[in-house]
Chain A
Amino acid sequence: MIAAYLVLLIPFAGILFFAFAGHKQETGRLNVRFNAVTLAATVWLAINVLNNGTLLSSGKAFIVDSFNVYLIVLTAFIGLTTAIFSAPYMAHEKQLGKLTEKRLKLYYSMYQGFMLAMYLVLTTNNMGVMWVAMEGATLATVLLVSLYRTPESIEAAWKYFILCGVGIAQALFGTILLYYAAVQIGDGDNALLWSVLFDNARQLNPEILEIAFVFMLIGYGTKIGLVPLHNWLPDAHSEGPTPMSAVLSGLLLNDALYAVVRNKMLVDGATQSNLAGLLMMGFGMLSFLVAALFLHRQKDIKRLFSYSSIEHMGVMTFAFGMGGPLATFAALLHMTVHSLTKSAIFVTVGHAAQLAGTQNMERIRGLIKTQPKIGWGLLIGTVAIAGFPPFGVFTSEFLVLLATMHSYPWLAPLLLLGIGIAFAGLFRHIQPIVYGEQPEGQLPIKANLWPVMIHLALVLWLGLAIPDFLANWFSQATLLISGSMPL
């Protein structure tokens, strides 16, 4: 359990350190080190869980099981690679005069704050604390979205703040209802602990939990970016600094979905029906289709990929909602590969936008000619996210499709159609960006593409062969969520 405390303490120390030490030349590299140490702690934690099974801290305040431990490692990993990318990127933004030292201090401090909130969402055993941490993540990122202080970024941050704040308030109402149902069967102090609730899920009042779940789905769904509550997401992604888009897409959306799935497990236990799952399927499918259509009319490159995030979150919500071992396994795999691919894409997109000096796709052209590494990175990333074999996204989407054909065959054509539309939407924009005529006066910039290469290599690896320990891990998590083993 010490490892779990370390995972929380290191980012906390990071917030204080960056807030008080101020900004210096090497702050970016220190941020990398903070994240590297956290990653080491999470790996230690993962090994513990692998050897000993579910860990519950002595006061039952924290729980680490096979479901959240891989998300914790994934969070730390993406946190580290994004930090590696953000150090030179932010230094470049400062050179361009877009940012001051004070803002950079805020940026690094809040970067750690965001990571802390993410780890807290994942490790806590208390559904109330989970809500607090989720809201904390909003508060930590809201100033980062407006980091450039342009009227657009302030507007985006305000929208993000209000919509996510109001949305997530619904989740708190759901949590209160859950607590109300729990107090009726047990003592008040432990009534919000997930492990206690899960053990007694059958005794919880099903009617109250049904109502509670609707509120939770709306609340956390705002954060996942489910249509029609998605409006904040493209704005926040396009106006905030690019490293922020990478972690928002790669981590925050996952964690919100994680909160919904944890709640779904309780509701399923209480109602003994798939009502919660059907709701998730509906929202997921709607988000998937709407986002796929919206991909076509984007002009801003970061908005394009934020719609792609909504689309993929829709697929995951759909798959988790469908339930069943195969769909759950596919959803867990999709969570992993989407996070890896999407954060890699945002890294290249950030460099591409810096290179062209704009985010407008009509003016980013000929990347392969100007700086081949960035161009190829973007192209391969897009190929991967569009679901081409042999990348991991293909594998997981294929599994989702298989599960759909098995359980709800009439939904499979919709899913295929959506994948087709999204594929067309991505490539009609990306093709001229990477191959088109190179505009005058663009010079190569200093770019760190290691994160991209590592992420894409991992996604490729996951597509070709899932290593044994990971497959085993996903199977354990699937067993926990859906009650039976896949395959």
Chain B
Amino acid sequence: MKGVFPLEEKLVPVVCPYCGVGCRLYIKSLDGYPRGIEYAKDIPGISNENGKLCPKGNAVLEYLLAKDRLKKPLKATEQGKFVEISWSEAIKEVAERLRAYSKDDPNAMMFFGSARTFNEPNYLIQKLARMLGTNNVDHCARLCHSSTVSGLKAVFGAGAMTNTYKDIEEANVIFIIGHNYAETHPVGFRYVLKAKERGAKVIVADPRFTRTAWFADIFLQHYPGTDIALLNGMMHVIIKENLYDEDFVRRRCVGFDELARTVEKFTPEYVEKITGVPAELIVQAARTFATAGKGVITWAMGLTQHTHGHDNVRLAATLSAICGYQGKEGCGVSPMRGQNNVQGACDLGVLPNVFPGYQAVTDPEKRKFFEEFWGVELSGEVGLTVIEAAHAIEKGKVKAYYVMGENPVISDANTNHVLKALQKLEFMVVQDIVPTPTMEFADIVLPAAAMLENEGSLTNTERRVQWSFQALNPPGEARPDWWIVSEIGKAAGFSGDGARGFRYTSPEDILREINACTPQYRGITPERLKSNLAGIHWPCPSEDHPGTRVLYKERFLTPDGKAHLAAVDYRGPAEVPDEEYPFLLTTIRYVGHYHTLTMTGRSRALVKRWPEPLAEIHPEDAERLGIKTGDWIKIETRRGAYPVRAKVTRTVKKGVIAVPWHWGANVLTNDALDPVSKIPETKACACRIAKISEEEARELMKAVPKVIPEFEVVKG
């Protein structure tokens, strides 16, 4: 037919492949090739009102055209050298190896899902892991929001944003903590500014004077890792001055007395000593927040990436609860997710402790359900998390990795340790769209289709599930993630019918299976998603249910239905500055970059504007060390050294150094873990700094993994 009829330009509605806001846009395509994008102004009710997009959203087509897209399956001949092989060879080899481990010791395998791909392949990867006999399955939410999941679960009974963007827009006060909202999620920040225009007050707590702080009515500049003291201090004032919602606390919360006792000693003066925030500002923030009538707390990695991340989140939730800001419109807690499907990957059980729908693997009844559903015996032992897996390889316990769309070499804390661990693996599969530094260690590489070349459902940070349609053709032999995992599943012997095997013909099949086993997604069918582009907020228990905007209107999801308020005593970061390492290091991000640069690093428009990392340092510190903007410096911690250029700026607090992490700065960070959520403390550690020459910097650079690597490939 081609060539006979003139080709028509199509406008395909998709979801942005970048951050968790989940903006909609149209891809203009001609015969499956990209022609441009168009703003989705005509779809009411989407998360990006009026079709607004941030710079990443505007540049979505660029990374797809990267020259180094993976187009054929590869097999390693030695580390970092590959030959091309066929799909059938690749699938056979992967399936056979996995089968063998599954027979000997299923827990010798570790699976990674991905917050950057659809719900369907994420569901499949955990199903594959579990059917092969292990719960060792996790994804990168571990490194950004696992403390949100565990912390919110402890207080409210489930780990998701309680409300939606609409509620941010309707709030009277918005408390932003550990989150540079304007820079990380510009389109989400739109709702903060709209609230502010209506007269809402904005409170920002951050160690840096960020682009977000610029819009704050009250700015609390605390030291990295002192959030517990700050939140306790605010609650001290609220309780002392009787500003909390007594009725709500009496009816719907437990643990208030203990909370009141614990925060007793956190007087504003005491908190000032720990956090560096003036006492009167703490009082003012507490009063403003508690008396507004409708309030939202929002946070991101500045709050979660700590050894006390779990407690930080519990306190934020507690603060929201005692003010009565739960179960109502215009209120809520609102953790902002980094990647577009962090929420979905968590929902669908890409976590070592739960099946899809947060059903505990340790609960015999839930396990029985899935054993019957999938038709296999399942392990009831909680599996390994990302960081634990790295330690388990060293001990020889984990021997095989299956990594789908992940890049632990750059994203995990303490890179040097990760590198050492990966070297010891017996077998590693990497499934991705472009080469990553993690691929260096792969035995088999499986080329995946990118999000826009493929279709499926995604769940954004406000629990909104949306369908993204296929706009473009994948390059070469790249295949959709769901196809790859289901082929491997079949080849590994799971060829049963329906849910008992992997015989899928489309992502719709898989979503129907998800509907059947995930209570929150029961009514979110492919048909509904395709006809309703704005999507549906889970929980949606049946097909005629409209979805849920506000959670916990009547009761919380805890066993007794009450919010379990947290009483936590102060704990600082695991590593604090001392004589040897006198500075406090924290990591940040730039608006134009995202995750480990796999996608944004291949986008010309973004790289041009944000070409390199700059370490922010306070002018007084810089002067003492003789550092000027543009000088090369070496940042050193107990784990590694990192060369970077300096930017002298008053935006950081004295004694603090801030570096963007996208370019591999995790060689520096601490992998000390939060005991509950197992998140590493990437947001605060002790470091020292020295000015160096450009040659020294180049020398040091060699030890930092290259974010965009080049591999030798022999054509098959």
Query: Does A associate with B in a complex?
Result: no
A residues apposed to B, CB below 8 Å: none
Q: Which B residues lie at the A interface, using CB under 8 A?
A: none
